[in-house]
């Protein structure tokens, strides 16, 4: 791996990481992906915390050595000047509206239930399940209210709002959510997946290595 490429610290099953893989595919941005096993504790080692004090993926590292974290901040940065981020303060704020919504009302329920389905539930999680499920369905219903009669989340064009929300929504079924209850949302999922340059969540990138805490 060269020392000068744009790097993405990522974890293949992560929807937050997938947002960036999908963005880079749409924008044909070349990068090297560094696979970080977030379930091994490596993100909390001094070597990783020196790069990201918040101990999480995704993170991009520029050839200059500068780093940017938070999936939706990364989307916002790289979409600047492209069709994936509309011009004008109002339209951009409408994109941010969805990005903040995704982080507060959507991802903490939809992504977490997907993870719990992979690991199995402890007693605390079992007790929290009904509230999490209800909050997840409320998040999907909110999306349905927009997508019942619109092709995309903001304006008439595909944007990083769609990328941010697609990432965990398209795998919500893995967390037990019944997506066919939301027909507009299901049509939107198909619309996003059929776009040229789309890649699936399993796409590991063209060049990748594994992060080792050393």
Ligand X SMILES: N[C@@H](CCC(=O)N[C@@H](CS)C(=O)NCC(=O)O)C(=O)O
Binding site for ligand X (CB under 6 A): 11, 14, 16, 38, 43-44, 55-58, 70-72, 103
Cβ closest to ligand X, residue 112 vs residue 186: 112
Of residues 58, 68, 21, the one with CA closest to residue 207:
21
CA distances from 158 to 84, 126, 154, 189 (A): 6, 37, 8, 12
SS3 state of residue 68: strand
Q: Report the nearest approach of ligand X to the CB of residue 184 (Å).
A: 25
Query: Which residue's structure tokens are 């091994």?
Result: 40
CB of 42 to ligand X, least distance (A): 8
Report the nearest approach of ligand X to the CB of residue 111 (Å).
7
Of 70 and 105, the one with the shorter C-beta distance to ligand X is 70
Instruction: Locate 154 and state its tokens.
Output: 């903001």
The first and second tokens of residue 168, run together, are: 């965990």
Q: How far is the CB of 16 from ligand X (least distance, A)?
A: 4
Give the count of alpha carbons within 13 A of 196, CB side only: 2
Q: Which is nearer to ligand X, 108 or 184 (CB)?
A: 108
Q: Which is nearer to ligand X, 43 or 169 (CB)?
A: 43
- Pairing of β 7-10 and β 59-61: antiparallel
Q: Output 71 or 169, the one with its CB closest to ligand X.
A: 71
| Nearer Cβ to ligand X (72/159) | 72
Shortest distance (Å) from residue 75 CB to ligand X: 9
Shortest CB 196 distance to ligand X, Å:
26
Q: How far apart are CA 95 and CA 202, in angstroms?
A: 26
Which residue is nearest to ligand X, using beta carbons?
A: 56
Tokens of 211: 């992060």
CB atoms under 10 Å from CB of 143, counted, come to 21
């Amino acid at each position: 791996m060269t020392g000068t490429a744009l790097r993405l610290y990522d974890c293949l099953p992560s929807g937050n990481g997938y947002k960036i893989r999908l963005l880079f595919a749409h924008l044909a941005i070349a990068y090297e992906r560094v696979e970080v096993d977030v379930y091994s504790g490596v993100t909390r080692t001094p070597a990783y915390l020196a790069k990201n004090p918040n101990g999480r993926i995704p993170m991009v590292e520029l050839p200059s050595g500068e780093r940017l974290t938070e999936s939706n901040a990364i989307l916002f940065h790289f979409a600047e000047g492209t069709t994936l981020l509309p011009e004008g303060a109002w339209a951009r704020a409408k994109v941010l509206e969805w990005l903040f919504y995704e982080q507060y009302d959507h991802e903490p329920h939809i992504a977490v239930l997907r993870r719990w389905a992979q690991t199995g539930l402890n007693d605390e999680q079992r007790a929290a399940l009904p509230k999490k499920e209800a909050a997840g369905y409320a998040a999907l219903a909110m999306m349905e209210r927009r997508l019942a009669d619109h092709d995309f989340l903001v304006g008439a064009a595909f944007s990083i709002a769609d990328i941010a929300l697609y990432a965990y929504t398209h795998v919500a079924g893995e967390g037990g959510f019944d997506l066919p209850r939301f027909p507009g949302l299901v049509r939107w999922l198909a619309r996003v997946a059929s776009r040229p340059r789309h890649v699936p969540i399993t796409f590991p990138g063209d060049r990748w290595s594994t992060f080792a805490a050393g």
